[in-house]
Structure 1
Amino acid sequence: MPDFEERTEQPTPRRREKAKEKGSVPRSRELISMFGTAGIFLFLYLAGDHSIENIFYLIKYVLGSLHEKDLIFVANFAFPKMVSVLIPFLIIPFVFAVFTGVLQGGFVLKPLGFEIERLNPLNGLNRIFSLSGFFELLKSVFKFAVGGVLFFYIVKKSLHLLPSVPVMSLPEIVAFSLKFIARMVLVVFIVFLALALIDYLIERWRFERSIKMTRYELKEEMKEHEGDPLIKSRIKSIQRELARKRMMQEVPKATVVITNPAHLAVALMYRKNETPAPKVIAKGAGLIADKIKEIARKHSIPIIEDKPLAQALYKLEIGSTIPEELYRAVARILAYLYRIGRIV
């Protein structure tokens, strides 16, 4: 395959399937992290009071029992209970993160597999100093800057309340601190969630661009699946579309466009001393005819209405020269255009 060929074709379903098999799917780590954090917030909202009470109870029990009971006995009692309290803080964000990952790109096992190449330090350095690594660094710096700006903004907004802190009771100070922290966490979370959604859109755009195909790759894939009737139909559709695109690219080279006038359009090219006879380089009916006429007008190509001639020319294959029986009719049009100076 030519290395310089541009990837201009949209990826086929098979191309997407192969990318997924290799573990390549549009996925934002930022979005996964934020939904994992959202899972923790949701748990704290629903059952946070109970969990915090249990933690304080265990701390109070441990501190109060250190002088009365054996340390091993206290540890054996407190450790399982502490684990049971902390497990939700580990499992819930994990479940939310996995769920978000599956929603973004489906369930893919490939990235979990072991590959010896990952142990190569040179590969690791290449990833760090690659364009992708630089992009990740920029994202981290941007997030840090946004977090700093938000922190100073919230602190500045709360400065007018600080003089009243010394006269507050301990419960009031705790309530004030919790309110300040909650406000900061909420604002930071909302902003970072918006950034994560933007990051996902960027990652999806980068993924779509990375799996685009060259025409060569598209043709090779067509060859692999020619036996399947459905794929065969799809191939023919793609081939027609490619042929139509190439045909439209030829229209600006036309000498004249002959129309029906409403339904048909045939573009003829004639170059003295280059073509033995006028040649059909594009033709179409309906919307395609309208497109041919639009391109012709854009490039100042003469458009001549001649219903019988247009119908006769439309029966010819693209790339073929006109038959002798049409010489006189076409020559009359070309002579007219030469006479009025539309072609030279």
Structure 2
Amino acid sequence: MAESDGQERTEDPTGRRLSQAKEKGQIPRSKEAATAAVLVAGMAGLMLSGRSLGLALLEVFRSSFSLEREAVFDPQLMIEALATHIAQVVWPMLSWFAVVLLAAILGSTLLGGLNFSSQAMMPKLSKLNPMNGIKRMFGVQALVELLKSIAKVTFIGTIAALLLRSNLSHLLNLSVEQLSVGLMDALDLLLWIGLAICCSLLPIVAIDVPFQVWNHTRQLKMTKQEVKDEYKDIEGKPEVKGRIRRMQYEMANRRMMAEVPKADVVVTNPTHYAVALKYDRTKPKGAPVVVAKGVDEVAMKIREIAREHKITQVASPALARAIYHTTKLEQEIPDGLFMAVAQILAYVFQLQAYQAGKGNRPTPLPDELPIPNELRH
């Protein structure tokens, strides 16, 4: 289907397009499925509850024709008799109605599910336009529906003719049976033939359901430009997205900087990189965790906060780069860096003890810490 700009609807509908269509009441529905469900369930319900319903009706007839003459002219007795007759019939009828009602709901919602759309309930003046009505009557969709109806009538009529032909001898034998036996036999045969004719709708349903799904998708297909426009609407304009990213980056930075005062040591490049590490001494099997990291201006801000809170800073360019490139925030350092970081933490803890007057001055760290080649950057 060509659009005004020459583009064709070649793209499958997006989730948003399907959601909007559902809000408007545009969902795939199969009338054939609903009809077949009601007919099959109705016939099956009659087969299950028909005996109790027939016995109830028979009792109503018997009691109705056995009324005494005085009761016929007594309004009070007639009202009581009517109530009794209704009570005798209502429960078998209600069970059958319940089966049919449940089948009608399931058959209607089997394809498309339950959907309540206020937009679909709103009156549309365009539907009152006679020209639009004529177009619908003589349009392609009307022609398709006409062909479907002819095919259905032909198919079901053929099935009915075959069933009658196969049971012709049984039908002819009914005339020689006793009245009571013949009636029961005829009713039984009628129910089975009716159920078989109703079941002949199932192949039609099997064809119609996939067709309705395909047709619904086809009607909602989009052009490439519509997909692009929708993506822009969802994602927003580039400048807005950029501003959101900047705000998110700033918020993440603020949260990260708030963790720097909790660190045990800051490993620096010493100018371009800075990594803040925290080690929980109550968890001997745990590893140091990166609570903050950054380069250039962010690294400078980390060092500044570390100075303000008197966090020990250790210059180790290779280790700072290795931690920065191999470890994410709030993650433990890799196994290969345990030895190097352990030496730095031991140095820091000894230095803190020395500054507190509880130990000797620690031995300076070696110029080269043990860093595996695969973790060097």
TM more than 0.5: yes
The answer to whether the Cα contact below 8 Å between 2:11 and 2:221 also exists between their aligned partners in 1 is: yes
The answer to whether the Cα contact below 8 Å between 1:51 and 1:85 also exists between their aligned partners in 2 is: yes
Asked if residue 120 in structure 1 is aligned to residue 128 in structure 2, the reply is yes
CA distance in 2, matches of 1:98, 1:80: 27
CA distance in 2, matches of 1:84, 1:183: 24
| Equivalences, count | 229
Asked if residue 17 in structure 1 is aligned to residue 19 in structure 2, the reply is yes
Asked if residue 168 in structure 1 is aligned to residue 168 in structure 2, the reply is no
Shift in CA distance, 99/167, structure 1 to aligned 2, threshold 3 Å? closer
How far 1:84 sits from its partner (Å)? 4.4
User: Which position in structure 1 is the counterpart of 2:40?
Assistant: 38
Deviations 1:71-105 (A, max 9, x none): 65144443455444433443432222222332310
User: Which position in structure 2 is the counterpart of 1:294?
Assistant: none
Shift in CA distance, 165/99, structure 1 to aligned 2, threshold 3 Å? closer
Residue type of the alignment partner of 2:176: V
User: Which position in structure 1 is the counterpart of 2:57?
Assistant: 55
CA distance in 2, matches of 1:118, 1:42: 42
Q: Which has the larger radius of gyration?
A: 2
CA distance in 2, matches of 1:116, 1:63: 56
Q: Structure 1 vs Structure 2: percent identity of aligned residues?
A: 26
How far 1:15 sits from its partner (Å)? 1.0
How far 1:28 sits from its partner (Å)? 0.4
How far 1:35 sits from its partner (Å)? 1.2
How far 1:114 sits from its partner (Å)? 4.1
Residue type of the alignment partner of 2:54: I
Tell me the TM-score normalized by structure 2. Answer: 0.53
How far 1:200 sits from its partner (Å)? 1.1
Q: Structure 1 stretch 182-191 or stretch 11-20: which is displaced more?
A: 182-191
How far 1:161 sits from its partner (Å)? 3.9
User: Which position in structure 2 is the counterpart of 1:102?
Assistant: 109
How far 1:32 sits from its partner (Å)? 1.0
Asked if residue 190 in structure 1 is aligned to residue 199 in structure 2, the reply is yes
Shift in CA distance, 81/137, structure 1 to aligned 2, threshold 3 Å? farther
User: Which position in structure 2 is the counterpart of 1:326?
Assistant: none
Residue type of the alignment partner of 1:226: E
Secondary structure at 1:56 match in 2 = helix
CA RMSD of aligned residues (A): 3.0
Tell me the TM-score normalized by structure 1. Answer: 0.58
How far 1:109 sits from its partner (Å)? 1.5
Q: Structure 1 stretch 65-74 or stretch 217-226: which is displaced more?
A: 65-74
How far 1:44 sits from its partner (Å)? 3.0
How far 1:216 sits from its partner (Å)? 1.4
